[in-house]
Amino acid sequence: MKTIGLIGGMSWESTAEYYRIINEEVRQRLGGLHSSKCILYSVDFDEIEKCQAENRWDEAGDILASAAENLERAGADFIIICTNTMHKVIDRIMARTCLPIVHIADVTAGIIKKHGIRKVGLLGTKYTMEQDFYKDQIETHQLEVLVPDLGDREKINSTIFEELCLGVIQEGSREYFKKVIERLITEGAGIILGCTEIGFLIKQEDIDIPLFDTTAIHAKGAVEMALK
């Protein structure tokens, strides 16, 4: 079994979910008392969020690149970045480590295509929804990506940072997200939960079409790589 290196803390609530899913998946596949071999480097999300808000992406990338270097020295065999948004700086991280990095958008796109879906609605932070780094990666897999309108993007973003990243789950927010998803569904789209906290709010049982929870997909993809 390979050792998974996790760059986490963005937020710690979703990083804890990664740890749970990874270990449950290993136990399911191997049975008995098996658990994952993994190393976690958890950053201070307040520092990262300030860099995002102030457009200091290179500085945020350097923080994560330092984390990757530490994981490499600690003996990790490969790395996962436990967040969607910070894949914006994956090239900066890759420049500082020899370890492979499992891209969250690639494993998500692979699962979507297995369902025979070709058009997806993307929910995430405003950075993920509005900038090209994530959508372009998904579209390299011959998928069409739709995003909510501006007002919905702003509301989704504020819910992520002001509620979900703080562990706050509100029924009103759940109903709002469901309405946004329903509007995307009318355009013929499946739905990517493209922020690692959205899965706390929206579950598959809430929606009639397939939801693609990037946290679960990424974590299970890491296990797949670890057990190859």
Q: Which residues are catalytic?
A: 83, 195
**Looking at this protein, which amino acid is placed at residue 32?**
G
Beta strands in 98-224 (DSSP E): 101-102, 119-123, 144-146, 190-193, 211-213
CA distance 125 to 85: 7
Provide long-range contacts, Cβ within 8 A and 24+ apart, for 201-207.
Answer: 201/159, 201/164, 201/169, 201/173, 201/174, 201/177, 202/174, 202/177, 202/178, 206/174, 206/178, 207/178, 207/181
Adjacent-strand bridge partners of 193: 123, 213
Q: How many CA atoms does the CB half-sphere of 58 hold within 13 Å?
A: 0
Contact indicator for 201, 156 with CB cutoff of 8 Å? no
Residue whose C-alpha is closest to residue 125's, from 157, 148, 151, 150: 157
Q: Angle 28-34-39 (CA atoms, 0-180°, nearest 5)?
A: 105
The values of phi and psi at residue 5, to 5°, are -100, 120
